[in-house]
């Protein structure tokens, strides 16, 4: 009994320390100016949203937020469509070169984005997509594709073959089977893919730094980097920007924790 | 004749039509935006090019010989290993301990687990602002140390050459250890309960059971966490770039930041790409090892 209490106590301490950095940032973002001189760990005595309003309108975070949500949402939706269709072909259709295709995707799993950003930049420039959201979207899709193709494949493999055969005997086309039979029973894989791709896209800095240099195109990551560099003394503003960047994915995590946990364990290679 | 040609065309459309519908969009994007740049980085690394001019000079392995005799490259290389080693030790060691403790708690477990794992979803950019603020000379870390009488330990964490890399590695671990905990927890659930019962009958203490039952049983999972943590650390860029940009001087320069400076900022695409290839080779080998480890259970 005592040992159980000790274990709980240690874990509570660890959880407290793990939460403290985020909590203090949230506190700072909500403190009125006169409270900012108090130690960071003191919760705000009265709450103000002035720092949020300031970075949202004057700091340009409104635009950054909209840009980020647009890219991340398109990434997530298109990724669900493309990865599932590719996995469908690889699991349910027979064709020559399937093994080669699998190898090609395994190779993709091993490519670190960091290592190829220079040619990625020139490739996207060569098709005129620098400073366009489309360029970033293509890059995101291409680089994370293998992870989700394998995620859908491993899910599809567990779908009973009989289901697919029955639909084919009824005269359904491949697309109809994909749309009406396979996808409706693959909701967990769809949710996991959407959440993970949305989060990766939301959180990335490197690609966006390189591909979206123009102010109006910036995402939250690039906007926050710039804001932090220019307004070094505005701790409350930087904290508010940080909270704006973190809140959406934190909320998604709290609502869909089970899916996140499963996806992150499976897609951990990226 | 026309008929048979039409028939053959029709046959091949109905044969390959659906297949191309399913595969072509993905393949087009994947080949052009992932595979082609990967091949290009190898090509670029054998040229001298500023990234803009039409003039690209073939130089063979000159960039690699330059790289191997570049003192800064080796500093960055060494820093990458130190940074990765610190992260691996924390994420594997502490990650296993936290997971083992969590698996012994029933009431309140979900909330503890949620709080510990939560930083995993926070963007490295946001992690950077949080920790840059906490680690600054008058930041909350030094304030805390001073208030508990440990003034001697207080220092400008990100400005001190001796500790900057460790401080940043610690911040990286803060934001990634949750992933290790999740994977270890999944592994712990599959450890055979009978082994613990047998150990208990033999009179083993809790610690002995952990040492002689849990750790050996988790060896494959530990290998997975080890490699995942290692590759993630090798690939990292965002956190360091958003805090120190490799500084002070080059004390937190790792391969990715050095490549970015040489390639993207100084327009040395050839040399930057050679560093990129070094990164590619290291990460690919580690990932290949990971895929082999993962494939093993299915082989049995």
B58 three-state secondary structure: strand
A137-141, B30-34, B165-169, B219-223: the lowest-pLDDT one: B219-223
CATH class label, A67-266: mainly alpha
Question: What confidence score (pLDDT) does residue B300 get?
Answer: 36
Q: Is the pLDDT of residue B292 over 90?
A: no
Per-residue pLDDT band at B215 (split at 50, 70, 90): confident
- A7 within 8 A of B112, measured Cβ to Cβ: no
Question: What confidence score (pLDDT) does residue B298 get?
Answer: 44
CA angle B183, B235, A120 (to 5 degrees): 125
Question: What confidence score (pLDDT) does residue B293 get?
Answer: 78
Q: How would DSSP label each residue in B120-151?
A: GGS-HHHHHHHHHHHHSTTSHHHHHHHHTT-G
Q: Is the pLDDT of residue B219 over 50?
A: yes
* Residue A214 forms contact with B (CB below 8 Å): no
Distances from the Cα of A147 to the Cα of A105, A140, B268, angstroms? 8, 12, 31
End-to-end C-alpha distance for chain B, whole angstroms: 55
Q: What is the C-alpha separation between B24 and A92, in angstroms, rounded?
A: 16
Average pLDDT over residues B202-210: 85
- B38 within 8 A of B280, measured Cβ to Cβ: yes
Instruction: Measure in Å the smallest separation between the Cα of A150 and chain B Cα atoms.
Output: 12
- Is B133 within 8 Å of A206 when comparing Cβ atoms? no
Nearest CA in chain A to B267: A118
Residue burial A17-39, b: 16+ Cβ < 10 Å; e: rest: ebbebbebbbbbbbbeeebeeee
Give the pLDDT confidence of A202-228 residue by residue, as tens digits: 999 999 999 999 989 999 999 999 999
Looking at every residue in chain B, the average pLDDT score rounds to: 91
Select from B51, B130, B179 the Cβ nearest to the Cβ of A242: B130
- Ranges of CATH 1.10.3720.10 domains, chain B: 64-299
Q: Which of B93, B225, B112, B86 is nearest to B168 (CA)?
A: B86
- Is A19 within 8 Å of B118 when comparing Cβ atoms? yes
- Is A119 within 8 Å of B280 when comparing Cβ atoms? no
Per-residue pLDDT band at B296 (split at 50, 70, 90): low
Question: What percentage of chain A exceeds 90 in pLDDT?
Answer: 83
Instruction: Measure in Å the smallest separation between the Cα of B33 and chain A Cα atoms.
Output: 6
Interface predicted TM-score (ipTM): 0.93
Cβ neighbours around B148 below 10 Å, total: 9
Question: What confidence score (pLDDT) does residue B5 get?
Answer: 78
Gyration radius from chain A CA atoms: 23
- Give me the count of residues in chain A: 270
Q: What is the C-alpha separation between B22 and B92, in angstroms, rounded?
A: 40
Q: Is the pLDDT of residue A156 over 50?
A: yes
Distances from the Cα of B125 to the Cα of A226, B7, B87, B129, B175, angstroms? 11, 58, 18, 7, 11
Please give the CATH architecture assigned to the domain spanning B64-299.
Answer: Orthogonal Bundle (1.10)
Q: What is the C-alpha separation between A128 and A160, in angstroms, rounded?
A: 45
Q: Is the pLDDT of residue B223 over 50?
A: yes
Select from B51, B256, B287 the Cβ nearest to the Cβ of A122: B51
Secondary structure of A89-150 in the HEC alphabet? HHHHCCCCCHHHHHHHHHHHHCCCHHHHHHHHHHHHHHCCCCCCHHHHHHHHHHHHHHHHHH
Question: What confidence score (pLDDT) does residue B117 get?
Answer: 96
HSE at residue B273, side-chain half, CA atoms within 13 A, is 29
Give the DSSP letter of residue B33. I
Q: Which of B247, B249, B276, B248 is nearest to B260 (CA)?
A: B276
Select from B22, B140, B235 the Cβ nearest to the Cβ of A41: B140
Specify the DSSP element, H or E, that contains A247. helix A235-255
Q: What is the C-alpha separation between A148 and A267, in angstroms, rounded?
A: 8
Dihedral (Cα; B185, B188, B190, B193), 10-degree rounding: -140
Question: What percentage of chain B exceeds 70 in pLDDT?
Answer: 96
Q: What is the C-alpha separation between A142 and A130, in angstroms, rounded?
A: 16
Q: Is the pLDDT of residue B299 over 60?
A: no
A29 three-state secondary structure: helix
Select from B259, B273, B291 the Cβ nearest to the Cβ of A106: B291
What would the two tokens of residue B137 be? 């000379």
- B272 within 8 A of A118, measured Cβ to Cβ: yes
């Amino acid at each position: 009994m005592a040992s159980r209490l000790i274990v709980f106590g240690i874990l509570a301490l660890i959880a407290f320390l793990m939460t403290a950095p985020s909590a203090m940032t949230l506190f700072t973002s909500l403190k009125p100016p006169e409270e900012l001189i108090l130690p960071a760990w003191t919760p705000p005595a009265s709450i103000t949203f002035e720092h949020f309003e300031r970075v949202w309108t004057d700091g340009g975070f409104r635009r950054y937020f909209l840009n980020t949500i647009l890219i991340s949402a398109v990434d997530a939706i298109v990724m669900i469509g493309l990865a599932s269709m590719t996995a469908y072909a690889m699991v349910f259709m027979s064709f020559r070169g399937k093994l080669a295709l699998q190898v090609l995707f395994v190779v993709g799993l091993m490519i670190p984005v960091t290592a190829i950003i220079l040619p990625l930049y020139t490739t996207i420039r060569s098709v005129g997509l620098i400073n366009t959201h489309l360029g970033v979207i293509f890059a995101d899709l291409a680089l994370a594709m293998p992870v989700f193709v394998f995620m859908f494949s491993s899910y599809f493999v567990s779908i009973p073959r009989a289901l697919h055969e029955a639909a084919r005997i009824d005269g359904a086309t491949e697309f109809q089977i994909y749309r009406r039979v396979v996808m409706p029973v693959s909701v967990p894989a769809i949710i996991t893919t959407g959440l993970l791709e949305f989060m990766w896209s939301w959180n990335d800095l490197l690609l966006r730094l390189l591909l979206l240099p123009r102010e109006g195109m910036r995402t939250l990551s690039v906007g926050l980097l710039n804001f932090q560099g220019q307004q070094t003394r505005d701790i409350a503003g930087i904290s508010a920007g940080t909270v704006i960047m973190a809140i959406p994915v934190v909320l998604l995590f709290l609502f869909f924790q089970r899916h996140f946990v499963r996806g992150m364990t499976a897609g951990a290679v990226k | 004749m026309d008929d048979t040609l039409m028939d053959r065309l029709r046959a091949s459309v109905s044969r390959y039509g659906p297949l191309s519908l399913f595969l072509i969009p993905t393949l087009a994007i994947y080949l052009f935006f992932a595979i082609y740049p990967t091949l290009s980085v190898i090509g670029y690394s054998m040229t001298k090019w500023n990234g803009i001019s039409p003039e690209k000079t073939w130089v063979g392995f000159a960039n690699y010989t330059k790289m191997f005799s570049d003192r800064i490259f080796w500093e960055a290389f060494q820093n990458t290993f130190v940074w990765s080693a610190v992260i691996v030790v924390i994420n594997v060691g502490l990650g296993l301990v936290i997971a083992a403790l969590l698996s012994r708690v029933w009431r309140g477990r979900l909330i503890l687990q949620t709080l510990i794992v939560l930083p995993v979803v926070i963007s490295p950019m946001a992690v950077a602002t949080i920790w840059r603020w906490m680690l600054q000379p008058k930041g909350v870390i030094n304030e805390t140390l001073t208030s508990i009488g440990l003034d001697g330990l207080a220092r400008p964490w990100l400005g001190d050459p001796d500790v900057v890399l460790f401080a940043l590695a610690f911040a990286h671990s803060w934001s990634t250890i949750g992933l290790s905990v999740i994977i270890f927890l999944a592994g712990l659930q599959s450890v055979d309960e009978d082994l613990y019962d047998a150990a208990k009958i033999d009179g083993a203490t809790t610690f002995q059971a952990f040492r002689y039952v849990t750790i050996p049983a988790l060896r494959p999972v530990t290998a997975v966490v080890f490699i995942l943590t290692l590759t993630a650390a090798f690939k990292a860029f965002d956190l360091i770039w958003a805090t120190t940009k490799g500084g002070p001087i080059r004390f937190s320069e790792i391969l990715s930041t050095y490549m970015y400076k040489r390639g993207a900022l100084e327009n040395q695409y050839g040399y930057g790409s050679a560093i990129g290839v070094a990164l590619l080779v290291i990460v690919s080998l580690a990932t290949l090892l990971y895929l082999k480890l993962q494939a093993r259970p299915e082989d049995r």
